[in-house]
Amino acid sequence: MISKQDYYAVIFTSTQTENVNGYGEMALKMEILAKQHVGFLGIDSVRNDVGITVSYWESLDAIKKWKQNSEHLLAQQKGKTYWYSWYNVRICKVEREYEFGNI
């Protein structure tokens, strides 16, 4: 995803509790929902002990609207109550990008 226009990244870093019942289904549901959202550009996600999910968006406004999506709000609430012991969200402007090889 090389874009000539400005775009934004949301870096979501997290650690989970021991109670991750229902998390997998919700994470999948949110990924499907995010992909349908206006301004969504892409997502990369990896988890071991720590999880890093980076989603890419056309604008700060698109990020704000995704954060306020009603189903996503419910997921965020469940995340704080049950699944995450800690998380950090960084909203970033992508200033430069380069790539090697072909995926």
Site for a copy of itself, rule CB under 8 A: 1, 8-9, 11, 13, 15, 44-48, 50-52, 54, 60, 80, 84-103
Q: How far is the CB of 97 from a copy of itself (least distance, A)?
A: 5
Taking the least distance from each CB to a copy of itself, the nearer of 74 and 86 is: 86
| Integer Cα distance of 55 and 44 in angstroms | 6
Asked if 15 and 51 touch (Cβ cutoff 8 Å), the reply is yes
Residues in the chain, overall count: 103
To a copy of itself, the closest distance from the beta carbon of 74 in angstroms equals 16
Closer to a copy of itself by CB, 13 or 69: give it.
13
In 3D space, the residue among 47, 45, 46 whose CA is nearest the CA of residue 55 turns out to be 45
Q: How far is the CB of 44 from a copy of itself (least distance, A)?
A: 5
Residue 67 and residue 8 in contact, taking contact as beta carbons nearer than 8 Å: no
